[in-house]
């Protein structure tokens, strides 16, 4: 049960509202982890900026959330967020105090978030044409509700027409041409990243202006609005040029021929000479991107439009692989590791080819990676039965020693939690194997991290040290599985 002191009331109310009608959302992330979720009708850029400052997150996913059956569907444009879903579910449930079942959905156009009536009220509103007491009903939200009739006055009827809905029609599906243009603009934005960082560091008083310009571009690009994206990117470029110009040193003073230098303020000739030498120093040359960075910008600019279009055709397995590698490419480029990003692009290319042909997973993935992934997935399939075998004696002892407890329900909850826990470990390792280097260094490091998490997990320790007299070692099951995967990766 969630701690009441940790409940985010805004998030709680936002999720409740989303269960009735579409609501905007913004997820503040770092890598694949969601640090904060904002769910509300209107999300201002200042809200997102404050959340990023609060959490230290650097990635923002935005869209519209709706309720579909028992699922909370987070709809997005372009591509599915590279987010660990089990951890996201835990965060939503913990911070809202509600039970949710979230999932992501890529859509050609986001659901419309309806506007509230005047004063933020629903129900009836006053008609401008009728008398002060005449009221008209809002358009009914469903066929199950009946329209209310306008009240009549004693002398005459007030003719009141049902107001037309102010909700605009859904925007048309973005064309492949628009997607390609947006991808090209995103590539140009990536090229500006070093200049953005340099300008923000050199002129901290203008950092807010820079952040606002970047956010405006991201918003336009996420909406696949080509004209707005072009305009906001142009505004950002002008802003950077303006800031750079303001930071340039003033030109040296012009000295007339045959005019002796002045010595104002009693400075020594040596000091004057040093000042003149400093003024004559050439300005710092602009940063020249490395060969790897230039090749990266060229290759990602060519591949990204194809990636965005082809991922819509790929089956779920191939699409998952493509998203994992693309996320790795982006992370490495942002970190300045362009050689690693280029190596990952080389693996992503054949997958895009396969997706475009609709032939499933790319055969060009090395047989070694395929074998390692197969071992991981097959080994992980054995874990549920191994754990369930250990939990059956606990269920029997609970029924015997504590008959007032619902033993089956309690053990089922344990199984569900553990399934999410080791499932998250599997997903992270799978991504690392696909995206990592030939030595699987990243996956090896993750295994060490997960060993510590297994040993520190409260439920695992609670089960293993139970007071029912049942000897259970869930920790050993998970550690053994990690050891076998590690041995397989090293082999």
Q: Mind listing the pLDDT tens digit of every residue in the chain (491 residues)?
A: 455 667 899 999 999 999 999 999 999 998 888 999 999 999 998 889 999 999 988 888 999 999 988 899 999 987 788 888 888 999 999 999 998 999 999 887 888 888 764 333 333 333 333 333 333 333 444 444 444 444 443 433 333 343 343 333 444 555 656 777 887 788 788 888 888 888 877 777 777 788 778 877 887 777 777 888 888 888 888 888 888 887 766 666 555 555 555 555 555 566 666 666 555 555 555 566 788 888 888 899 888 888 888 888 777 778 888 888 888 888 888 888 888 889 889 888 888 877 776 544 444 456 778 888 889 989 999 999 999 998 999 999 999 998 888 888 888 889 888 998 998 899 888 888 877 567 788 888 889 999 999 999 989 999 999 988 998 899 999 999 999 999 998 87
Summarize the chain as % helix, strand, coil (round to 5): 60, 10, 35
Radius of gyration of the chain (CA): 30
356: tokens are 């475009």
Q: Which of 222, 226, 78, 108 is nearest to 173 (CA)?
A: 108
């Amino acid at each position: 049960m969630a701690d009441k002191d940790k409940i985010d009331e805004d998030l709680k109310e936002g999720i409740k509202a989303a269960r009735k009608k579409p609501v905007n959302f913004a997820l503040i992330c770092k890598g694949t982890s969601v640090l904060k979720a904002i769910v509300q009708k209107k999300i201002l850029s200042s809200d997102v900026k404050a959340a990023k400052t609060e959490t230290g997150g650097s990635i923002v996913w935005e869209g519209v959330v709706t309720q579909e059956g028992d699922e909370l569907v987070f709809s997005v444009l372009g591509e599915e967020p590279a987010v660990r879903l089990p951890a996201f579910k835990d965060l939503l449930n913990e911070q809202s105090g509600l039970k949710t079942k979230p999932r992501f959905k890529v859509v050609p156009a986001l659901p419309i978030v309806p506007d509230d009536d005047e004063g933020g009220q629903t129900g009836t509103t006053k008609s401008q044409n009728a008398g002060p007491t005449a009221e008209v009903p809002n358009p009914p939200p469903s066929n199950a509700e009946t329209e209310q009739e306008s009240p009549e006055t004693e002398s005459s009827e007030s003719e009141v027409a049902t107001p037309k809905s102010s909700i605009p029609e859904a925007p048309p599906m973005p064309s492949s041409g628009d997607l390609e243009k947006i991808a090209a603009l995103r590539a140009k934005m990536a090229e500006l990243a070093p200049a953005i960082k340099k300008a923000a560091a050199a002129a901290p008083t203008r950092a807010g202006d820079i952040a606002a310009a970047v956010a405006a571009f991201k918003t336009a690009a996420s909406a696949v609005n080509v004209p707005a994206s072009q305009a906001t990117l142009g505004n950002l470029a002008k802003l950077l040029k303006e800031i750079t110009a303001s930071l340039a040193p003033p030109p040296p003073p012009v000295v007339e021929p045959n005019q002796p230098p002045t010595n104002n303020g009693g400075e020594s000739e040596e000091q004057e000479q040093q000042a003149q030498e400093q003024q004559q120093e050439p300005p710092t040359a602009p940063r020249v991107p490395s060969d790897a960075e230039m090749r990266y910008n060229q290759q990602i600019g060519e591949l990204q439009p194809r990636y965005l279009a082809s991922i819509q055709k790929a089956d779920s397995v191939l699409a998952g692989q493509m998203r994992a590698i693309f996320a790795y490419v982006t992370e490495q480029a942002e970190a300045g590791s362009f050689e690693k990003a280029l190596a990952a692009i080389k693996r992503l290319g054949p997958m895009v080819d396969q997706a475009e042909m609709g032939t499933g997973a790319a055969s060009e993935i090395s047989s070694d990676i395929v074998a390692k992934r197969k071992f991981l997935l097959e080994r992980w399939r054995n874990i549920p039965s191994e754990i369930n075998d250990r939990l059956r004696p606990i269920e029997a002892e609970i029924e015997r020693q504590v008959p007032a407890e619902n033993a089956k329900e309690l053990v089922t909850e344990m199984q569900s939690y553990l399934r999410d826990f080791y499932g998250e470990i599997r997903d992270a390792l799978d991504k690392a194997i696909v995206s990592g280097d030939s030595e699987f260094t990243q996956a090896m490091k993750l295994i060490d991290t997960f060993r510590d998490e297994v040993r520190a997990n409260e439920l695992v320790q609670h089960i293993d040290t139970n007071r029912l007299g049942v000897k259970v070692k869930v920790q050993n099951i998970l550690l053994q599985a990690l050891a076998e995967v590690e041995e397989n990766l090293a082999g």
